[in-house]
A and B are shown apart, each in its own frame.
Chain A
Amino acid sequence: MAAYILHLAILGGMYVLLAASLNIPVGLSGQVSLGHGAFFGIGAYISGLLAIHYAVLPFPLLLVLAGLGSAAVAVLLSPPALKLKDEYLAVVTLGFGLIFELGLKNLAFTGGTDGLYGLPNFGMQGADFLWWVWGAVALCLFVTSRLRKGQFGRNLTAIKESERTARTLGIAPLPLKVGCFALSALFAGIAGSLYAHYITFINPGVFGLHTSILLLCMVVLGGMGTVLGPLAGGILLFLLPELLQEFADYQDLVYGGLLIVILIFRPQGLLGRAPGQGRRRFPLRRRTQPAPASTSNA
């Protein structure tokens, strides 16, 4: 039992880390990404491939390289995409994730659909991984909270509410948005490396659309833009299959239904503030359409 709980804690921590990393662009600056699994995968494959070809590299270095590599890809690819708004950005990130997955499957050096097998775990036991994973989570949450409070965070909120207005105030949106993506990719890449060396086997299936959607749901459920939201959302959605073990057939039903119910009745997520309660950090109204004067059924 102990080993199992440990395993859940480690793997759950990775998903929390991924959700926390996704929270930075989605929650803090309102940039929807349906391709986050790709950054997770980039980190995992960088770490895995380096470990296979350059066995001398120590684990902490691989971790850093995976994170930086992933962030570099984000910096390179995101500027053109981030000029697009909501739905368009969503589909572009979706496409990016899909193309990445296809690339993994078809290129020889990534091991193709067979994946990379027999990755080293550097002699680390479960407990070691636990510290690394939750250490990274703590770091990411800390960074998120500092970003929220400082000038960076205020600028991001301004961009989220209205980009045009923000520009008139002298805020340049693009570098900030790219920065958000780069940070999120950094932590996602670190999660990838941790995953690769814990499970010691990676294949393209782990990093596809299914995972990207799961992460987005974790962020929304927990509360977009809140610091601890990804923690709550991540733990809950990760443990949901465990809790629903009896009703294995109905798991996805509950999962989808829960998402819908939460979004209708508590869209600020578990830890977010309800509209009207305290400072609103997150606009619940559309930017472009004027709010209807009354909720008439006309």
Chain B
Amino acid sequence: MIWQQIVNGIVAGSAYALVALGYSLIYGVLGLINLAQGEIYMAGAFGLWIAAAVLGLPLPLAVLFGLLFSAVVGLSMERVVFRPLTGRHPLIPLLAAIGLSIFLQSVALLAFGPETRPFPLEFEPQLWNLGPVTLSTLQLLLVTTALALMGGLFWYVHASRHGQALQAVAMDREAARLVGIKPHQCVAQAFGIGGMLSGAAGMMMAAYYNATYPYMGVLPGLKGFCAAVLGGAGSIPGAILGGLILGLSENLGAAYIHSGFKDGYAFAILIAILLLRPQGLLGKSK
């Protein structure tokens, strides 16, 4: 059974990792924790729902629409809420993000109603038996998509000019400006890309759990936050590692210790790690 639980953990962990990447990108560039990341996750899922159920678009276009929608939501957050708050005490944007979270949840509630919507496109569950493990095509699809997105992000950050500018701003904002990089553009990029990643996670989970509803981003947002900090806020590999550890610990803890505490295992591990290594697993120590 343990292998099956590990598979479960990897699938869930991939989604958490994507959300955590959103947090880390923004934190790296701006030093701010966007606690409304979970709502971008939700926006992605609803974006896809609008495209598929209302506009009638086929899956690939619907996914694209969802990604664009999430990017727009992320960028608007930056422009409307976080840009006016640059330079303030860190608690301020943290709380603004909480307010934003509540605000967006209500917008979704008012726009879409409280009902849970099933995923608007059909998926035939095909099961593959590989020894002790049973995988569904959906699980495989999700993990490969997540890996592809992470790969894309790595390439972007390390190999593309824009990505390198992002890294430069994260390392030293003033120095970056001196060599002609525009920090505000990089910040916008971080929000846009981070938004797309979270939105992708939202779409994936809407398919996996067959559920889209306004409050769907609350727990994944918190867990993504947990994963990002666990791996070291601001670190991209850290976010991925954090997400995986989180997914695995939840599933293994629920299976072998007590399923009632499922949501708590990740935080327990986080607390333990932070006490020993305050900057997180792969974070930079100050």
Q: Is the CB of B102 within 8 A of A259?
A: yes
Query: Which of A7-15, A173-181, A212-220 is the interface stretch?
Result: A212-220
A251-273, CB < 8 A from B: 251-253, 255-260, 263-264, 267
CA distance A87 to B27 in the complex (A): 10
Answer whether A105 and B99 are a contact pair too, CB < 8 Å, given A30-B91, A86-B90, A87-B33: no
For the complex, what is the distance from the CA of A294 to the CA of B96, rounded to whole Å?
Answer: 23
- Asked if A246 is at the interface of the complex by the 8 Å CB criterion, the answer is no
Residues of A within 8 Å of B, CB-based: how many?
A: 55
With A95-B268, A102-B264, A220-B95: A81-B275 Cβ-Cβ less than 8 Å: yes
Q: Which of B131-181 contact A (CB under 8 A)?
A: 173-174, 177
Residue of A nearest to B262 (CB): A102
Q: Which residues of B contact A282 (CB under 8 A)?
A: 89
Interface of B is mostly: helix
Given A95-B226, A99-B268, A264-B96, the answer on whether A84 and B174 have CB atoms closer than 8 Å is: no
Q: Which residues of A contact B261 (CB under 8 A)?
A: 99, 102-103, 106
* A38→B94 CA distance, assembly (Å): 20
Whole-angstrom CA separation of A274 from B183 in the bound complex: 28
A263 touches B85 (CB 8 A): yes
Give the chain B neighbours of A199 by CB distance below 8 A: none
**B183: which A residues are within 8 A, CB to CB?**
298
A283 within 8 Å of B (CB atoms): yes
Cβ of A32 within 8 Å of any chain B Cβ, yes or no, is yes
Q: What A residues does B280 contact at CB under 8 A? A: 88
Indicate which residue in B106, B258, B275 contacts A106 across the interface (CB closer than 8 Å). Answer: B258
Query: What is the size, in residues, of chain B's interface with A at 8 Å between Cβ atoms?
Result: 53
Chain A nearest CB, measured from B98 CB (Å): 6
Instruction: Give A5-26 as 1s and 0s: 1 = Cβ < 8 Å from B's Cβ atoms.
Output: 0000000000000000000001
Choose, from A50-58, A68-76, A132-140, A285-293, the stretch at the interface.
A285-293
**A residues in contact with B94, CB < 8 Å:** 32, 86-87, 90
Determine the distance from Cα of A283 to Cα of B91 in the docked complex, in whole angstroms.
11
Question: Does the CB pair B95–A87 fall under 8 Å?
Answer: no
Contact with B along A30-43 (1 / 0, CB 8 A): 10100000000000
Find A257's partner among B91, B99, B268 (CB 8 Å cutoff).
Answer: B99
A252 near B102 with CB under 8 A, answer yes
Residue of A nearest to B276 (CB): A80
Known interface pairs A95-B267, A264-B85, A298-B182; A87-B90 also in contact (CB < 8 Å): yes
Complex CA distance for A213 and B118, rounded to whole angstroms? 30
Residues of A within 8 A of B (CB): 26, 30, 32, 80-81, 83-88, 90-92, 94-96, 98-99, 102-103, 105-106, 209, 213, 216-217, 220, 224, 249-253, 255-260, 263-264, 267, 282-286, 288-292, 297-298
Using a CB–CB cutoff of 8 Å, the interface residues on chain B facing chain A are: 27, 31, 33, 81, 84-96, 98-107, 109-110, 173-174, 177, 182-184, 222, 225-226, 229, 233, 258, 260-261, 263-264, 267-268, 270-271, 274-275, 278, 280
| Interface CB pairs A-B, < 8 A, 7 | A80-B275, A88-B274, A220-B95, A256-B101, A260-B96, A263-B85, A284-B89
Q: A-B pairs with the 6 shortest C-beta distances?
A: A256-B103, A259-B99, A95-B267, A256-B102, A106-B260, A253-B106
